[in-house]
Structure 1
Amino acid sequence: MFDEVAAHYDRTNAVLSMGNATLWRVATTRAVAPRAGERILDIAAGTGTSSAALARTGAHVVAADFSAGMIDVGRERHADNPNIEFVQADATALPFEDGEFDAVTISFGLRNVVLPQKALDEFYRVTKPGGRIVICEFSTPPATPIRVGYFAYLNHVMPAIVRLASSNAEAYDYLGESIAAWPAQATLSGWLRDVGYEGVAYRNLTLGIVALHRGIKPILESPAIGLAAAETAS
């Protein structure tokens, strides 16, 4: 599905978010706080728009995505940026070494993973001790009027916009359903703690339509903490 929408993916996102996608990307980049010389994993990076923002500080960003089509478009768009490396990868079986990255981040991709808790365990594995995770994802607005209006937009307004903005409107049919089915902020925070992250916190963006989650991998840990936590959670 993502292969089919890769060419106009960023344009469609900008339209559907009513311009907020740029603000969410800025907030995510600030939360990651990339520094020159760091190695950062940007999962579900799509065409690399988020990766480019992270790489501006001089960090080396590995832009990983499951979709070969997204990777192809990203490589072409950012061919002149030596700080971005594109890799096709499955979030639940990452092809990287333990503790390889100073920071791991994923924006609007975790809900598309069939086994999100398994993916979080992988994120924890490849994060360096003392490293950080930042997740930006659609969430549940806490205020009832906002929540009702938001889901009305997803169900009735967004499909009409998609037909005008997307190169493949049918590929977006799942979007509203995936957002509605995604757990609220507290649940995702609990998943992060389950795999071993500490200092887990979140803050709402755009009245809770989106939430920005953060955590730190402890410097001193049991080698089996991620696996043990996952087994406990299951």
Structure 2
Amino acid sequence: MTRANLDKQPHEVAAMFDDVAAKYDLTNEVLSLGQARFWRRAVAEAVAAGPGQLVLDLGAGTGTSSLPFQEAGAQVVPCDFSIGMLAEGKRRHPELALTAGDATRLPFADDSFDAVTISFALRNVQETEAALREMLRVTKPGGKVVICEFSTPTWSPFRTVYTEYLMRALPPVATRVSSNPDAYVYLAESIRAWPDQAELAAKLQRAGWQKVAWRNLTGGVVALHRGFKAA
């Protein structure tokens, strides 16, 4: 079994997700206390894709996050760099155009997509701002990015409880439901080390995104960031 470290070497991160692919979606539902579906719905509403639009879903894993865009009538390209996750996704959703790709070197032409989205995967990319620039490159002028990522709870007492849950409760729970519990130790550490809402917004602006804004979900446990490419 493989676990990555916070230096986020791509081959280690990919191998770690290969290990957890089979039970990844189930584990997320358990560890999020059922909130994962609510967060996915919020992403779909923020992207607001419709018929005739092309959406790039980065870090799509098994493709679960891509289904709402398909159901809305948009064409969606799920993209991930874990071959194990893509193989599991192809087994479950053979109709999806699952594609292998690195977020910092996307295999797509400039100005290709109406929207780019990434959920709970940006913090696993070694070079965050390089990925944000690549997302900008492949987005059409006037298009948008929507990022859903774990963030910093806004209420200080809850923030303390949440941190304790991440580092103490999450690994034992993962031991019961995941095929690679050590991977969730890394995930807890990566959440704790991730920038807060304002810092991620600043990274988006430095990468060239405009009209950057965010809103908190579940008290800031998760934040949705949005930006637009200049028309």
TM-score by length of 2: 0.92
Distance 1:117 1:170 in 2: 27
**Which residue is equivalent to 2:104?**
92
Distance 1:65 1:156 in 2: 29
Please list every run of at least 4 consecutive aligned residues from structure 1 whose deviation after the TM superposition is greater than 6 angstroms.
none
Tell me, yes or no, if structure 1 residue 71 matches structure 2 residue 81: no
**Which residue is equivalent to 2:35?**
20
Gaps of 5+ in 1: 220-234
Gaps of 5+ in 2: 1-15
Q: CA deviation at 1:26?
A: 0.3
Tell me, yes or no, if structure 1 residue 104 matches structure 2 residue 104: no
Q: CA deviation at 1:171?
A: 2.0
- Tell me the C-alpha RMSD between the 2 structures: 0.7
Question: What SS is found at the alignment partner of 1:146?
Answer: helix
Question: What SS is found at the alignment partner of 2:97?
Answer: strand
Report % sequence identity: 55
TM-score by length of 1: 0.91
Cα shift readout 1:159-211 (whole Å, capped 9, x = no counterpart): 11101110111222201110010000001101111121111100000000000
**Which residues in structure 2 correspond to 1:6-85 (within 5 Å)?**
6-79=21-94, 81=95, 84-85=96-97
Distance 2:73 2:222 in 1: 27
**Which residue is equivalent to 2:10?**
none
**Which residue is equivalent to 2:19?**
4
Cα shift readout 1:97-140 (whole Å, capped 9, x = no counterpart): 00000000000000000001100000000000000100000001
Count of aligned residue pairs for this structure pair: 216
**Which residues in structure 2 correspond to 1:77-156 (within 5 Å)?**
77-79=92-94, 81=95, 84-156=96-168
Distance 2:159 2:81 in 1: 31
